[in-house]
Amino acid sequence: MTLNFPTAFILILGGLILPFFPGSLRKLCLIFIPAVAFVHLLILPIGIHGELQFLGYTLSSVRVDKLSQIFGYVFLIAAFLNAIYALHSDDVLQQAATFVYAGSAIGAVFAGDLITLFIFWELTAISSVILIWARRTDRAYKSGMRYLITHILSGMLLLIGAIFYSKSQGSIEFTSMSLDQPGVILIFIAFGVKSAFPLLHNWLHDAYPESTEIGTVALSVFSTKLGIYALARGFAGTEILIFIGAVMATFPIFYAVIENDLRRVLTYSLNNQLGFMVVGIGIGTELAINGAVAHAFAHILYKSLLFMSMGAVLFRVGTVNGSDLGGLYKSMPWTACFCIIGAASISAFPLFSGFVAKSMIMSAALYQDHVLVWLVLLFASAGVFHHAGIKIPFFAFFAHDSGFRCKEAPPNMLIAMGIAATMCVGIGCFPDFFYQILPFAVNYKPYTWGHVLSQLQLLVFSALAFAVLMRTGIYPPELKSVNLDTDWIFRKIFRAISKKANDSVFATYTSFCSNLKSQILSLFEKIKHHHHPTGLLARNWPTSSMVMWVAIMLASYLLIYFLQFNA
């Protein structure tokens, strides 16, 4: 019995058998399964395992190195937190789907070749959409559908790209690629969809906030970070990523400021954080890659924490619209406290996890003389603090009192948030241990006077701006409205065009067919009437048209053959 099978199988199988356990035993399994998977991951030795032959290619289903290991760890930690967070729920569908989803994301991270990657890639799409549909509303169904189509398409692009790539390179190993190799651009776009590149990002803001309080937490962890992992593995040092990442880090800020649904605000800040990682991957130095990976790790923890706190609010109050909330710190003090820790982490306060990770990327940008990029990232950092660091806790827990008097979040949610919060602070205070598991050796000191001071300045002035704007009433009020994002183009204009085209084609086709039909009808009318007086077979015109097709086919074959023959 060898243990060198993909860790993914433990979670996927666990998820599939979960529904067959009765209530209390199931809760035990929820905690037990990720724990077993974690142990399995710890004992998996570095190297390539689980090779098998498929269609003449060698698949390597498990490739363990530092890069895949760290993503494996954080995905499992997140799966574990998710399981605790979902303990109170009786919705076994979501719990099972979360395990399958987490399992397939981990499977994709350890995939050593493009085919294995593709299989797990599609599996994440299919399992995650269940989490969106689990909200069981019409809106959730529709946006889940759009989400599914986008992700299946991303998988198709990956497959087509992989076919071209393997044909030209003679290998399906998933390794560093360059954009001028055939098919690689398709793979790049596929990764881009998962990592929510600008213009490919709409699914993120569309679907994630529609999921349940549990589902969104899981969703925020795996898909996008799988995209980041894939970019780090395949496209480290690809220059265009710096530009893409810079755009990605900035433009969601504007949307985040005016958005009312606080979970949607979090998806915009999620997108902006991904931008930081993409910039890091684009710079491609050891420090930058370390920074991107570290940021992904830290990000998963504090973003889960923020989504968990908003999920708890949604669970207790029933809404997360900024305009409806306020003053909840009285009812949910613990949740408010954890939310602030998450907010401090995402805003990169010194002593919190965001600081030790993000500053690596910023420094890497400076070392490579990308001053402009550095400035853009600086602006983005200020924006993050603004909308995620202040806006979320402020509107949910403070601001004007909304009058909601609810119970504190259930204990299991508090425990999950507590663990996540502890890890955020732990990483921020003791970064050395954290740096050890990064892909490259780290020779970086986050706590220098320069770093700390500049970050504090940034934060203080950003907070000042918020306070001034609020006081003077210039700050965009929280309104119930819909943000028009670029997906308006896809969803309205494209739809109108395709409908128009469809209608006109259909009209010509039907008129053509009915013409043909009526002619044949009149021709055979007499014979038909004579042979089938009962009328049962009175609609036998298709038979005659079928025969006509036979004649046409024969005539054309003969014609073509003879013409060719004489030529």
Partner 1 sequence: MLSSQLPALQVVIPLVAAPICVFFRNPRIAWLIALIASSLTFMVSIGLFLQVQQLGVISYEMGNWSPPWGIEYRVDNVNAYILLIVSSIGALVTAYAYPSLKREIDTNRHYLFWTSYLLCLTGLLGVTITGDAFNIFVFLEISSLSTYVLIALGKSRLALYAAFRYLILGTIGATFIVIGIGLLYLMTGTLNLYDLASRLGDMDLAQPQLAALAFLTVGISLKLALFPLHLWLPNAYAFAPSVATSFLAATATKVAVYLLLRFAYDVFGKSQIFSELPLGEVLLVLSIVAMFVASTVAIYQDDVKRMFAYSSVAQIGYITLGASFASQTALTASIVHLFNHAITKGAIFLLLGIVAFQIGQPTFTKIKGLGKKMPWTSFGMVLCGLSLIGVPGTAGFISKWYLILAVLERGWWWLAAMILASSLLAILYIWRFVETAYFVTDAEDNTIELGSKIPFSMATVTVLFVLACLFFGFHTEFSVDSASEAARVLLEYTRQ
- Least separation, in Å, of the C-beta of 80 and partner 1? 28
CA distance 492 to 2: 54
Using rule CB under 8 A, residue 553 touches partner 1: yes
Contact flags string 88-107 toward partner 1, x per CB under 8 A = --------------------
Segment interacting with partner 1, rule: CB under 8 A, options 95-103, 377-385, 486-494, 550-558: 550-558
Q: Please state whether beta strands 47-54 and 57-64 pair in parallel, antiparallel, or not at all (unpaired).
A: antiparallel
**CA of residue 267 relative to chain centroid, distance:** 10
Using rule CB under 8 A, residue 463 touches partner 1: no
The amino acid occupying position 7 is T
Instruction: Say if residues 196 and 224 touch (Cβ distance below 8 Å).
Output: yes
Using rule CB under 8 A, residue 156 touches partner 1: yes
CA distance 24 to 90: 10
Among 163, 378, 419, 425, binds partner 1 (CB under 8 A): 163
Using rule CB under 8 A, residue 527 touches partner 1: no
Instruction: Say if residues 26 and 92 touch (Cβ distance below 8 Å).
Output: yes
Compare residues 156 and 258 and give the one whose CB is closer to partner 1. 156
Tokens of 484: 């028009």
**CA of residue 486 relative to chain centroid, distance:** 18
Using rule CB under 8 A, residue 550 touches partner 1: yes
Binding-site size for partner 1 (CB under 8 A) equals 31
Compare residues 430 and 561 and give the one whose CB is closer to partner 1. 561
Using rule CB under 8 A, residue 118 touches partner 1: yes
Using rule CB under 8 A, residue 537 touches partner 1: yes
Segment interacting with partner 1, rule: CB under 8 A, options 103-111, 212-220, 243-251, 545-553: 545-553
Compare residues 1 and 536 and give the one whose CB is closer to partner 1. 536
Question: Within 13 A of 364's CA, how many CA atoms are on the CB side?
Answer: 29
With tokens 């069981």, the residue in question is: 136
Q: Which residues, in sequence order, are bridge partners of residue 49?
A: 62
- Give the residue from 16, 7, 4 showing the smallest Cα distance to 47: 4
Instruction: Say if residues 421 and 351 touch (Cβ distance below 8 Å).
Output: no
- Least separation, in Å, of the C-beta of 57 and partner 1? 11
CA distance 28 to 495: 48
- Least separation, in Å, of the C-beta of 459 and partner 1? 47
- Least separation, in Å, of the C-beta of 123 and partner 1? 10
Among 92, 160, 378, 463, binds partner 1 (CB under 8 A): 160
* Binding residues for partner 1 restricted to 396-435, rule: CB under 8 A: none
Question: By CB neighbour count within 10 A (0-12 exposed, 13-18 middle, 19+ buried), where does 560 fall?
Answer: exposed
CA distance 109 to 61: 10
Using rule CB under 8 A, residue 169 touches partner 1: no
Residues at the contact surface with partner 1, assessed by CB under 8 A: 54-55, 115, 118-119, 122, 141, 152, 156, 160, 163, 167, 536-537, 540, 542-543, 545-547, 549-550, 553-554, 557-558, 560-562, 564-565
